[in-house]
Amino acid sequence: NAGVTQTPKFQVLKTGQSMTLQCAQDMNHEYMSWYRQDPGMGLRLIHYSVGAGITDQGEVPNGYNVSRSTTEDFPLRLLSAAPSQTSVYFCASSPNELETQYFGPGTRLLVL
Amino acid sequence: GENVEQHPSTLSVQEGDSAVIKCTYSDSASNYFPWYKQELGKRPQLIIDIRSNVGEKKDQRIAVTLNKTAKHFSLHITETQPEDSAVYFCAASRTGRRALTFGSGTRLQVQP
């Protein structure tokens, strides 16, 4: 099993550009989440999904969209990138909310 | 919603000493408390978790204690080694919340 994979590993955007961060898992997990990690602020939840076709907002959803058309994939879309979105983004999956979350390797995003 | 506070933000110990990290949570219904370790440049990984029906759990040099009355839980690392140096995150969740709430992290440095 590859576990949780994320692409790209690193991305530089200009303000106003849009892009999609990819996340995939091969463990047949129902729960998938996106977090951003900023220095001194821990992991903050952006959006999450409890199954295909079901998504909901987390703590910091503004400026991001998600969709979950399959169990395996959970892409995160930045609509119009802003410097405040410079961060490291982690995708995670788990069987449910009370089980181990498996994190992807992360995407480092720099918005100029 | 849930709020998780974590202390201290940084902790430096000598190799062989013990380290203790404490977290408090706000939602008395929370019933799942995992701890994640994140090495520099790597993804967070689960090291131990505890559920509200037990007060303590051990795994070799790592232990977690839970005080439901006071709404706090702690990570204890004994006989620390340089490879224990990392950032540690606590988190909390409960049945039906559908997502973890993380603390802000503790940077542990073990001096050889």
Ramachandran angles phi, psi of B8, nearest 5°: -80, 175
pLDDT of residue A41: 76
Question: Could you report the per-residue pLDDT of A40-79, keeping only the tens digit for each?
Answer: 778 999 999 999 999 999 999 999 999 999 999 999 999 9
The answer to whether the beta carbons of residues A32 and A99 sit under 8 Å apart is no
Cβ contacts of A50 on chain B, cutoff 8 Å: 98
Q: In chain A, which among 87-106 make CB contacts under 8 A with chain B?
A: 90, 97-98, 100-101, 103-106
- Cα gap B106→B17, rounded to integer Å: 17
Residue reference for tokens 């399959």 = A70
Beta carbons of B43 and A105 less than 8 Å apart: yes
Question: pLDDT in tens for each of the 112 residues of chain B?
Answer: 789 999 999 999 999 999 999 999 999 999 999 999 999 999 999 999 999 888 999 999 999 999 999 999 999 999 999 999 999 999 999 887 778 899 999 999 999 9
- DSSP codes of every residue in A5-57: EEE-SEEEE-TT--EEEEEEESS--SEEEEEEE-TTS-EEEEEEEEETTEEEE
Q: Is 80 exceeded by the pLDDT of residue A101?
A: yes
pLDDT of residue B52: 85
Beta carbons of B51 and A105 less than 8 Å apart: no
Beta carbons of A43 and B31 less than 8 Å apart: no
